[in-house]
Amino acid sequence: MVKPGERVRLDRIDPADTSGFDGKKKDGLKEVSALVKTLDPLQEVLYAEHKHKVLIVLQAMDTGGKDGTIRRVFEGVNPQGVRVAHFGIPTPEETSHDFLWRIHAQVPERGQLVIFNRSHYESVLAERVHGLVAREVWKDRYTEINEFERMLSEEGTTIVKFYLHIDRKEQMKRLQERLDDPTKHWKFSADDVHERRFWGEYMKAYEEALERTSTPWAPWYLVPSNHPWFRDLIVSSVIVKMLQDLGMRYPKLDESKMNLSQ
């Protein structure tokens, strides 16, 4: 977890690191499976209790594993109480409003777990890197994001954010795999190759975003993600513990409604 105000240097963090887990890949995969099974009933009681709201934010460079994380970690949950929101290039209507307008419309309701596949952080990442807004605009957005997330937290939303950290070499490997496998051609985009030219600028933007927006009410977790099994292990571990810490309970049935003969 990135501590509030902590300095982040991504070039000093090994994306292939698995030192927090002593077992081998096969053991890690078994643990992920166990965590996924644990997540299922936790999500069910979240939905049944209809009290808490949970927001999961996933950010990464292209091919960083956002889709894979969603597919693996949440494969066993009830889709009735889980929703994925994806944020692409803003539409003309969205750009006519403030940068958080389209985000606020997708936040979770009570009893719901919502996963942001990309998020409001694109406003201090892609828009910063490509100069789509002035420096003085994106500089102010860190404070605006923190206050937005604080408001959500005070209204009962539990927020946890993951940056899936891969290196440039791993990204190239994954892009090549998409070209080599016909079943993955649909995932390949020339834009991903173009964006690689701005790797250094993106790393600086991510570092500042992690430093300035990891807060007690919406912490960032920096996840080494070159190894998908380790990525899934870390993300599922954090989410399971977060849900357990909410102390959720199934609602009790009103005894006056228990007489089936009425």
- Structural domain contains residue 259: no
Which residues in 118-236 belong to E strands, given as ranges? 157-165, 220-224
How many of the other CB atoms lie within 10 Å of CB of 251? 10
| pLDDT for res 256 | 65
Whole-number pLDDT of residue 76 = 86
| Structure confidence at residue 158 (pLDDT) | 98
Q: How many domains does the chain have?
A: 1
pLDDT tens readout for residues 220-229: 999 999 999 9
What is residue 194's predicted lDDT score, i.e. its pLDDT? 87
What is the pLDDT at residue 23? 64
CA atoms within 13 A on the CB side of 175: 17
Domain membership flag for residue 252: no
**For residues 20 and 35, what is the distance between their CA atoms, to the nearest angstrom?**
16
- List 218's β-bridge partners, or say none: 215
In a domain, 136, yes or no: yes
Classify residue 260: in a domain, yes or no: no
What pLDDT score was predicted for residue 207?
A: 98
- Two tokens, residue 37: 């099974």
* CATH code of the domain in which 64 resides: 3.40.50.300
- Name the residue range of residue 195's domain: 10-247
Q: Does residue 22 fall inside a structural domain?
A: yes
Q: Read off the amino acid at residue 179.
A: L
Q: Report pLDDT for 170.
A: 97
Would you state the pLDDT for residue 71?
A: 94
pTM of the model: 0.94
**Under-50 pLDDT residues of the chain:** none
100 within domain boundaries: yes
In a domain, 127, yes or no: yes
The pLDDT of residue 79 is: 86
Is residue 230 included in any domain, yes or no?
yes
